[in-house]
Amino acid sequence: MTQCLCQSKKLEKLHEIIAVHKGKAGTLIPVMHEAQDLFGHLPLDVQSMIAEGLEVPLADVYAVATFYSKFTLQPKGVYSIQVCLGTACYVKGAQALLDKLAELLHIKVGETTEDGLFTLEATRCIGACGLAPVMTVNDEVYGRLSVEQIDDIVHKYMEMAWKDEEHGDTSESR
Amino acid sequence: MATCGIAAGAQKVYETVQQEIARYGLAVTVVPTGCIGLCRYEPIVDIYVPGQEEAVRYGQITPEKIKKIIALHLFAGQPVPDYVCQDHRGKQMMVALRNSGVINPESIEEYIAVGGYQALAKALFEMTPQEVIEEVKASGLRGRGGGGFSTGLKWDYSARAEGDQKYVLCNADEGDPGAFMDRSILEGDPHSIIEAMTIAGYAIGADRGYIYVRAEYPLAVKRLEKAMSQARQMGFLGTKISGSAFSFDLEIRLGAGAFVCGEETALMVSIEGKRGEPRPRPPFPAVKGLYGQPTVLNNVETYANIPIILRRGASWFSSFGTEKSKGTKVFALGGNIHHTGLIEVVMGTPLRHVIYDLGGGIPGGKKFKAAQTGGPSGGCIPAAYIDTAIDYENLLELGSMMGSGGLIVMDEETCMVDVARFFLEFTVDESCGKCPPCRIGTKRMLELLERITSNKGEKGDLEKLEQLAKTIQAASLCGLGQTAPNPVMSTLRYFRAEYEAHIEERKCPAGVCKAFLEYTIIEEKCRKCSLCARTCPVGAITGKIKKPHRIDTEKCTQCGLCMSKCPVKAIAKRPKQ
């Protein structure tokens, strides 16, 4: 199965990452960043591999994984929608954007849609205050937003996902 | 081409420029720069024509507009006044931002061309470490990350402290909501930070340093990495720098989204690879910091001042500013203001000048209500104090603080109780949980504020808030907890009547808190077109075409969609009847 091959390649890559950092001080967080980039999240087996590889207690890895908001133990959707709730965005109505998205996707903030397509998150300032209110979908930044634009943006990504599916390019084999 | 500019479409414009000049066969150099600070006008294109002193600055450029500009301005020699944008950099003083938006941040040659690495050479070959420290002390530079501690003094403590290994750290974990000057400096002028940290290393006797950057700033990280490898190649970083006996190297460490890691002791344990929980001080990091060794930690903007201080001298730097606050300060201007963006002004500049002359005032003819500075650690400055000269002391006296420099302008339609709630929500989220006053106290404060804003406030709530605030301020372990009550304290101080209106009159005077409002259809204006009923996502609007429509306030989620869709503006938000 393609997925297994993919997973084993990822595990191999993780071993390489650990080998590069092993023995140096303070490398736990950098390794976890790279591991999360690789797997999308940090499931327990990945955490234990890191613990074993770097020779730190698993409890320390778990402690770090749950402390920092950038690390997640749950898989995220194909598209991660992040609405900036920095002060500048908030003052300019970011909360209304978030409410609208929650309503449209039928999920609460922090949740992922059942089809695994979208994850909705409120994020702290991304430093693009001049474009407030701002949201990002994966790496794409949308600035100077209004509630009316939300529908179109969400549908754009739905269509992209549908097109991918037609071409047989599902998230699993990616 | 900083994050803001790219988000506004700078990449497409950049590509179009290159295609067009190739198409016309023009001999034009295209240089990507960092943030110019005029966020409102992004993307921005400057055109310099040889023989003309000033560049023509075009704003809000699209690929279509740039095609026209290239055809008319570059090809035919006719500037296009329609697209020229207003520039208020002339009314400012650029020290920390001197190179941002001017040079190509990915070119070390351009940095050297504007005097880069001269300060490092001067320090290494003409000054002793102690002379460097004295110069920084004499300049009067204070930490731009918030607290405002004397930078030279901090360096002096580290230099005197004993340890086999010393460290120089840069705090680039800009977590303050509403502040982005550090990102702009890193993206626009990364070499100045590298140069400054190397100078700091020489001054205190350290040969290692870390830049702790937010993972949310990928472009800043990329540019820093590039700059570091260029500096190594040119011998400004690494062993025996520029042929001297001094060696120093840097590493980047990514933050992982914890606001508390902006606190110095928390930042250090985070670099060590642990949960970023602060520890009590003393011992101060200058004496016992990273891995228990003497460590100097400064913020990005503080470092950005160092090279120019050494180059132009302490007396030049201390010649502007106020008695106790020297130099300039960068502010990220945001919120309800015309010209959002980055500005840099001399310390002591009146708030009025910032808001009206540089910021262009409040949009929509609305009234200025307050300016929020210092983020979650700061407070609000009400309109009555608009003539305050901005410096460390004056802001503290008003119950706010300099903080890292976010300046959010709020108009009359901002509810100050809601703003306080917003900040408390932030601190509750970001508290590391190590000490109970911060972990539990801020949560209790937030609950009180949530009660007040959801029309469930009770008599005595304000007194409870004040008491909690004082306890948290006094008993918390680190700066995060000690300053967490500030937004509540300062809004209570200046806008107490607004709190009372929520509790006693059951009203939200600014018309923000949903629990006090309802949407209604103004019958006289309604054309009975039924557009609102079809738009409403929760089916709260009933009525048939040509029949009067009604909003069921029980069902209504107050999303405001009907109001924005109504062609005749027949839907209004009003206090609950």
ipTM score of the complex?
0.88
**Residue A29 contacts residue A61 (beta carbons within 8 Å):** no
Which residues in chain A touch residue B336, judged by CB atoms under 8 angstroms apart?
Answer: 91-92
Q: Is A4 annotated as a binding residue?
A: no
| A134–B contact, CB cutoff 8 A | yes
| A168–B contact, CB cutoff 8 A | no
Q: Check A87 against B375: CB less than 8 A apart.
A: yes
Q: Give residue A53's pLDDT.
A: 96
Which residues in chain B touch residue A142, judged by CB atoms under 8 angstroms apart?
Answer: 7
Q: Is A125 annotated as a binding residue?
A: yes
Q: Which of B268, B257, B272, B261 is nearest to A33 (CA)?
A: B257
Nearest to A126 among B216, B253, B336 (CB): B216
* Higher per-residue pLDDT: A130 or B437: B437
Touching A: B residues 79-98, CB under 8 Å? none
| Residue B424 banded pLDDT, cuts 50, 70, 90 | very high
Distance from CA of A82 to the nearest CA of B (A): 12
Nearest to A96 among B275, B414, B559 (CB): B559
Touching A: B residues 171-200, CB under 8 Å? 174-180, 183
Rg (CA), chain B: 26
Q: Which of B516, B427, B509, B500 is nearest to B463 (CA)?
A: B500
Give the A:B interface size as CB pairs under 8 Å. Answer: 159
Q: Cα(B298)–Cα(B303) distance, rounded to whole angstroms?
A: 7
Which residues in chain B touch residue A86, judged by CB atoms under 8 angstroms apart?
Answer: 177-178
Which residues in chain A touch residue B565, judged by CB atoms under 8 angstroms apart?
Answer: 148
Q: Which two tokens stand for residue B18?
A: 């290159």
Q: Which two tokens stand for residue A123?
A: 């994020």
| A87–B contact, CB cutoff 8 A | yes
Q: Which two tokens stand for residue B279?
A: 């520890």
Q: Check B560 against A90: CB less than 8 A apart.
A: no
Model pLDDT for residues B269-297, shown as the tens digit of each residue: 999 999 999 999 999 999 999 999 999 99
Q: Cα(B548)–Cα(B528) distance, rounded to whole angstroms?
A: 6
* Direct distance between the N- and C-terminal alpha carbons of chain A, in angstroms, rounded to an integer: 13
Q: Check A132 against B332: CB less than 8 A apart.
A: no
Model pLDDT for residues B507-556, shown as the tens digit of each residue: 999 999 989 999 999 988 888 888 888 888 788 898 888 888 889 988 88
State the best of B217, B254, B338, B454 to mutate against chain A, taking most chain A CBs within 10 Å: B254
Model pLDDT for residues B249-271, shown as the tens digit of each residue: 999 999 998 999 999 999 999 99
B/e letters for B344-383, b = 16+ CB within 10 Å, e = fewer, are bbbbbbebebbbbbbbbebeeeeebbbbbbbbbbbbbbbb
Q: Check A125 against B179: CB less than 8 A apart.
A: yes
| B271–A contact, CB cutoff 8 A | yes
Q: Cα(B73)–Cα(B341) distance, rounded to whole angstroms?
A: 27
DSSP annotation of A78 reads S
Maximal C-alpha separation, chain B:
88
Q: Which of B206, B198, B214 is nearest to B270 (CA)?
A: B214
Q: Which of B161, B237, B131 is nearest to B193 (CA)?
A: B237
The stretches of B313-415 forming alpha helices (DSSP H) are 314-318, 351-352, 392-397
Task: Using the structure block, give the residue that is written with the tokens 């320390």.
Answer: A60
Q: Check A26 against B254: CB less than 8 A apart.
A: no
| B565–A contact, CB cutoff 8 A | yes
User: What pLDDT tens digit does each residue of chain A (174 aa) get?
Assistant: 344 557 888 999 999 999 999 999 999 999 999 999 999 899 999 999 999 999 999 999 999 999 999 999 988 899 999 999 888 888 888 998 999 999 899 999 989 999 999 999 998 777 777 788 999 998 788 988 998 899 999 999 999 988 877 765 544 433
Q: Cα(B385)–Cα(B462) distance, rounded to whole angstroms?
A: 24
Model pLDDT for residues B443-484, shown as the tens digit of each residue: 999 999 999 999 999 999 999 999 999 999 999 999 999 999
Touching B: A residues 5-24, CB under 8 Å? none
Distance from CA of A159 to the nearest CA of B (A): 21
Mean per-residue pLDDT of chain B: 93
Q: Check B257 against A69: CB less than 8 A apart.
A: yes
CB neighbours of residue A88 within 10 Å = 33
Q: How far is CA B439 from CA A78, B39, B419, B457, in A?
A: 34, 36, 20, 23
* Higher per-residue pLDDT: B424 or A161: B424
Q: Give residue B52's pLDDT.
A: 82
Nearest chain B residue to A61, by CA = B274
Q: Which two tokens stand for residue A104?
A: 């449209």
Nearest chain B residue to A66, by CA = B275
Nearest chain B residue to A136, by CA = B7
Q: Which of B178, B146, B172, B149 is nearest to B372 (CA)?
A: B178
**Residue B338 contacts residue B360 (beta carbons within 8 Å):** yes
Which residues in chain A touch residue B215, judged by CB atoms under 8 angstroms apart?
Answer: 33, 70
Nearest chain A residue to B181, by CA = A127
| A153–B contact, CB cutoff 8 A | no
Q: Give residue A4's pLDDT.
A: 53
| A137–B contact, CB cutoff 8 A | no
**Rounded-to-10 torsion of CA B437, B438, B441, B442:** 170
| A107–B contact, CB cutoff 8 A | no
Distance from CA of B383 to the nearest CA of A (A): 17
Residue type, A71: F
3-state secondary structure B107-169: CHHHHHHCCCCHHHHHHHHHCCHHHHHHHHHHHCCECCCCCCCEHHHHHHHHHHCCCCCCEEE
Q: Does residue B559 carry a pLDDT above 90?
A: no
Touching A: B residues 508-547, CB under 8 Å? 537-538
CB neighbours of residue A122 within 10 Å = 20
**Residue B304 contacts residue B185 (beta carbons within 8 Å):** yes
**Residue B306 contacts residue B200 (beta carbons within 8 Å):** yes
Question: In angstroms, how far is CA B64 from the centroid of its own chain?
Answer: 32
Which residues in chain B touch residue A70, judged by CB atoms under 8 angstroms apart?
Answer: 215-216, 255-257
| B272–A contact, CB cutoff 8 A | yes
Touching A: B residues 364-423, CB under 8 Å? 372, 375, 406, 408, 410, 414, 419, 422-423
Nearest chain A residue to B271, by CA = A26
Q: Give residue A171's pLDDT.
A: 46
Question: In angstroms, how far is CA A163 from the centroid of its own chain?
Answer: 22
Q: What percent of chain B has pLDDT over 70?
A: 100
Which residues in chain A touch residue B34, judged by CB atoms under 8 angstroms apart?
Answer: none
Nearest to A99 among B4, B274, B559 (CB): B559
Q: Give residue B283's pLDDT.
A: 94
Q: Give residue A168's pLDDT.
A: 55
Q: Are strands B328-335 and B341-346 parallel, antiparallel or unpaired?
A: antiparallel
Q: Does residue B368 carry a pLDDT above 90?
A: yes
Q: Which two tokens stand for residue B509?
A: 């005077």
Which residues in chain A touch residue B335, judged by CB atoms under 8 angstroms apart?
Answer: 87-88, 91-92, 132
Residues recorded for chain A: 174
